[in-house]
């Protein structure tokens, strides 16, 4: 069998072709890696009924049900419908599975649902971004992490969103114990000093990690009500020149970051190589070819940044080169 399988269609429908003819895997998106446990029983049932009983936990926090027969694709899509609905994935026609395989699953660290160091709810923002960017056939990756510890490896993504906070200091609650200073020195960038028994924060040096907040025993330091983020750009692995993402915006808000991600769609539509197979060309390679200054014009279109947001005039990436 298998000669009449439309591999282009099944790949777009988020199925993976395996090295065994007629056999593949079904991919399941989990925005932010956060899901209700009831979903797992449906995944188990699908794997046992249509697959080989094994499931792969992907590096992008999704699932792949292994060993499925590609001829069963339509039935599997129907079986996955409750998962798609539970996770609120955008879908054009019910019971037809995922409408695109591009724009990889938005991944995230555990966030402030659990972690005391996280500055925001990563799963919540991941779902918001998911609703804006999917379905989409373009190839890019988004990673969220709650603080500069970067447990989510955000700097290895096309768009890395790192949680920040603007520490709020109440000197009337400060007892000069220096716990914040010790924490900042040992765990962060050593941006706190003491003058006249009060803490002074070097605003130029501070990276908004929030360590001072977690270490203060009297709540003299608290997190800002405004949620801030650092946006890093075009980190990647891959064959040519793997590299870490570099800072683009510092002290930005979520709304503008989402606008920049969506503006990048238009940039790619304009400049993607006509020779790119299946319209799959890494955004970083497009920016390398066209130039960062041109990308920046597209990225910041109709974006009204916060007064405190710092924008890098230019971004320079380093990394290992295998293409020279």
By the 10 Å C-beta count (0-12 exposed, 13-18 middle, 19+ buried), 67 is classed as middle
In this structure, the number of other CB atoms found within 10 A of the CB of residue 40 comes to 13
Q: Are strands 107-108 and 159-164 parallel, antiparallel or unpaired?
A: unpaired
**Closest by Cα among 108, 120, 114 to 34:** 108
Question: Given this model, what pLDDT does residue 4 score?
Answer: 63
Average pLDDT over residues 257-278: 90
Arch. (CATH architecture) of 107-164+227-311? 2-Layer Sandwich (3.30)
Q: Which of 235, 56, 270 is nearest to 159 (CA)?
A: 235
As a whole number, mean pLDDT of residues 141-168 equals: 96
> Tokens 């794997």 belong to which residue?
47
In this structure, are residues 283 and 268 in contact, taking their beta carbons and an 8 Å threshold? yes
Burial of 6 (0-12, 13-18, 19+ CB in 10 A): exposed
Annotated domain spans of the chain? 7-86, 107-164+227-311, 169-220
Give the C-alpha separation, 193 to 204, whole Å.
13
Asked if residue 136 lies in contact with residue 100, where contact means CB atoms within 8 angstroms, the answer is yes
Candidates 3.30.70.3340, 1.10.4100.10, 2.130.10.10, 3.20.20.140; CATH matching 7-86 = 3.30.70.3340
Fold: same for 7-86 and 169-220: yes
- Give pTM, 2 decimals: 0.93
Query: What distance lies between CA 91 and its chain's CA centroid?
Result: 20
Residue pLDDT, tens place only, 46-65: 999 999 999 999 999 999 99
For the chain, what percent of residues have pLDDT higher than 90?
A: 80
Q: What is the mean pLDDT of residues 197-226?
A: 96
Give residue 102's pLDDT: 79
Length of the chain: 324
At 1, the pLDDT band (50, 70, 90 cuts) reads very low
pLDDT for position 2: 44
CB-CB contact of 181 with 198 (8 Å): no
Tens-digit pLDDT profile for residues 90-126: 998 999 999 887 788 999 999 999 999 999 999 999 9
Residues 250 and 142: beta-carbon distance below 8 Å = no
Q: Residue 312 has what pLDDT?
A: 96
- For residues 76 and 50, is the Cβ–Cβ distance under 8 A? yes
Distance CA 253, CA 16 (A): 36
CATH of 169-220 given 3.30.830.10, 3.40.50.720, 3.40.50.880, 3.30.70.20:
3.30.70.20
| Nearest of 14, 232, 202 to residue 103 by alpha carbon | 14
For 5, the token pair is: 């399988």
User: CA 72 → CA 24, 45, 212, distances in Å?
Assistant: 10, 15, 55
What is the rounded CA–CA span in Å between residue 266 and residue 132? 14
Strand bridging mode 142-145 / 159-164 = parallel
Mean pLDDT, the chain, as a whole number?
92
């Amino acid at each position: 069998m298998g000669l009449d399988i439309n591999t282009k269609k099944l790949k777009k429908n988020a199925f993976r072709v395996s090295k065994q003819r007629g056999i593949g895997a079904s991919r399941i998106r989990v925005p932010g890696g956060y899901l209700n446990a009831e979903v797992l029983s449906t995944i188990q049932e699908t794997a046992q009924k249509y697959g080989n009983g094994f499931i792969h936990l992907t590096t992008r926090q999704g699932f792949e049900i292994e060993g499925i027969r590609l001829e069963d694709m339509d039935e599997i899509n129907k079986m996955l419908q409750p998962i798609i609905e539970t996770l609120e994935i955008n879908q054009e026609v019910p019971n037809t599975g995922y409408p695109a395989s591009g724009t990889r699953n938005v991944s995230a660290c555990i966030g402030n649902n659990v972690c005391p160091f996280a500055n925001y709810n990563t799963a919540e923002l991941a779902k918001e971004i998911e609703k804006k960017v999917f379905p989409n056939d373009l190839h890019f990756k988004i990673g969220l992490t709650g603080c500069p510890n970067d447990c989510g490896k955000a700097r290895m993504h096309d768009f890395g969103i790192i949680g920040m906070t603007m520490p709020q200091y109440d000197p009337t609650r400060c007892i000069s114990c220096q716990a914040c200073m010790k924490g900042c020195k040992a765990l962060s960038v050593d941006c706190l000093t003491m003058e006249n028994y009060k803490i002074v924060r070097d605003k130029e040096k501070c990276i908004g990690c929030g360590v001072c907040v977690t270490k203060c025993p009297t709540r003299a330091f608290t997190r800002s009500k405004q949620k801030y983020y650092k946006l890093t750009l075009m980190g990647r692995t891959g064959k040519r020149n793997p590299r870490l993402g570099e800072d683009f915006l510092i002290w930005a808000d979520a709304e503008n970051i989402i606008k920049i991600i969506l503006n990048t769609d238009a940039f790619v539509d304009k400049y993607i190589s006509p020779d790119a197979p299946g319209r799959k060309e890494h955004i970083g390679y497009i920016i390398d070819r066209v130039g960062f200054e041109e990308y920046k014009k597209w990225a910041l279109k109709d974006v009204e940044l916060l007064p405190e947001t710092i924008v890098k005039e230019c971004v320079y990436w380093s990394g290992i080169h295998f293409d020279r």
